[in-house]
């Protein structure tokens, strides 16, 4: 791959023109061209093992906790009732599933990943994710997530869309038809959490998404987190509830946290709330309540 040169990996993409993030490579462990994308796994000098799809970092051992924990625990903790059935679209590395399983009330997690190559590479080379794939609560579907949701109406307490950027195999997950399918797949008080880019790089994309999401969901908020190896060092989520009265910025369920906090590195109920406080440039552009 062109991104690997002289012992370094450089994240080159038109999604962030004029800049890139680089990591020193200790050893390349896996390179594959799947049916859908290029898959790369390598050991880095400072961030442990790294998973890369189509030249874009998806996770590193050192900082994946920020993304996986917040993406899972914000929507699950924001529910007014205990979650029982959760769907993850994308997320073939298994990290979000790992975090969901820390909620004892969850009975089923449906993981729908279109690229089996991502699942297989994660099972083999990302051992800190392997526990999630072995859980009897996990139902793995190698399938198109957009189609899967259309086939499962009123099924889930929470739907989590752990997608890559809106290019390649994830492009179908960023339009209004997909969000309508997400809403229909949720039960009457369900919550959607979806990856929604960086406010520092993609504010126009985020604002465009917000414009159609607020026509679909009665309750829409935007949360942002710090994560060093994602473009600009930040990533955001749309948190959308079918229950207009549910303040998703507040963690209502905290008993699971007391039993799981020794296994957590990033999420806590205070950070849950503060992640929705946006800088003025972003809050002005998005026009969402804070």
Whole-number Å distance between alpha carbons of 222 and 206: 9
- With 50 as the cut, is the pLDDT of residue 169 above it? no
pLDDT of residue 6: 86
Q: What angle do CA 93, 19, 71 make, to 5 degrees?
A: 30
Q: Give the helix ranges, DSSP H, for the chain.
A: 64-78, 95-100, 116-125, 130-133, 145-150, 176-185, 203-213, 255-260, 269-274, 280-286
Q: How confident is the model at residue 1 (pLDDT cuts 50, 70, 90)?
A: very low
- With 50 as the cut, is the pLDDT of residue 170 above it? no
- The pTM is what? 0.95
Whole-number Å distance between alpha carbons of 197 and 224: 9
pLDDT of residue 90: 95
pLDDT of residue 5: 84
**Considering Cα of 176, then 235, then 83, then 130, what sign does the dihedral take?**
positive
Q: How confident is the model at residue 37 (pLDDT cuts 50, 70, 90)?
A: very high
Q: How confident is the model at residue 163 (pLDDT cuts 50, 70, 90)?
A: confident
pLDDT of residue 113: 96
- With 70 as the cut, is the pLDDT of residue 168 above it? no
- Catalytic positions are 162
Strand, helix or coil for residue 173 = helix
196-226 per-residue burial string, b: 16 or more CB within 10 A, e: under 16 = bbbbbbbbebbeebbeebbebbebbbbbbbe
Q: Where are the domains of the chain?
A: 4-60, 64-286
- With 80 as the cut, is the pLDDT of residue 127 above it? yes
- Token duo for residue 222: 């935007």
Asked whether the beta carbons of 251 and 273 are under 8 A apart, the reply is yes
Higher pLDDT, 265 or 4: 265
| Average pLDDT, integer, range 154-164 | 93
Strand, helix or coil for residue 183 = helix
- With 90 as the cut, is the pLDDT of residue 68 above it? yes
**% of the chain at pLDDT higher than 90:** 89
| Average pLDDT, integer, range 279-286 | 96
Q: Give domain 64-286's CATH superfamily.
A: Vaccinia Virus protein VP39 (3.40.50.150)
Nearest 5°: phi and psi at 248?
Answer: -70, -10
pLDDT of residue 197: 94
pLDDT of residue 164: 64
Query: What average pLDDT does the chain have?
Result: 94
| Average pLDDT, integer, range 1-13 | 85
Whole-number Å distance between alpha carbons of 184 and 53: 30
| Average pLDDT, integer, range 157-178 | 74
Whole-number Å distance between alpha carbons of 151 and 181: 9
Whole-number Å distance between alpha carbons of 29 and 27: 6
- With 60 as the cut, is the pLDDT of residue 171 above it? no
Span 4-60: which CATH code?
2.30.140.10
């Amino acid at each position: 791959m062109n991104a690997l040169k002289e012992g370094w990996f450089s994240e080159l993409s038109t999604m962030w023109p004029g800049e890139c993030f680089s990591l020193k490579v200790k050893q390349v462990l896996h390179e594959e061209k799947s049916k859908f994308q290029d898959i790369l796994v390598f050991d880095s000098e400072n961030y442990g093992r790294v998973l890369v799809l189509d030249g874009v970092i998806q996770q590193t051992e050192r900082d994946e906790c920020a993304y996986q924990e917040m993406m899972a625990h914000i929507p699950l903790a924001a529910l007014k009732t205990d979650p029982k059935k959760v769907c993850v679209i994308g997320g073939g590395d298994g990290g979000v599933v790992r975090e969901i399983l820390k909620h004892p009330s969850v009975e089923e997690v449906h993981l729908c990943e279109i690229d089996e190559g991502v699942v297989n590479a994660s099972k083999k080379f990302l051992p800190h994710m392997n526990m999630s794939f072995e859980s009897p609560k996990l139902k793995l579907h190698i399938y198109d997530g957009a189609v899967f949701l259309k086939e499962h109406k009123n099924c889930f307490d929470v739907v989590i869309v752990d997608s890559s950027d809106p290019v390649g195999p994830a492009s179908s997950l960023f339009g209004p038809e997909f969000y309508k399918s997400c809403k229909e797949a949720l039960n009457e008080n369900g919550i959607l959490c979806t990856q929604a880019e960086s406010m520092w790089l993609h504010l126009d994309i985020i604002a465009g998404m917000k414009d159609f999401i607020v026509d679909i969901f009665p309750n829409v908020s935007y949360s942002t987190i710090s994560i060093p190896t994602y473009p600009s060092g930040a990533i955001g989520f749309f948190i959308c509830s079918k229950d207009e009265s549910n303040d998703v910025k507040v963690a209502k369920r905290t008993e699971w946290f007391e039993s799981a906090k020794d296994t957590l590195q990033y999420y806590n109920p205070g950070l849950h709330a503060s992640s929705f406080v946006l800088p003025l440039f972003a809050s002005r552009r998005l026009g969402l309540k804070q």
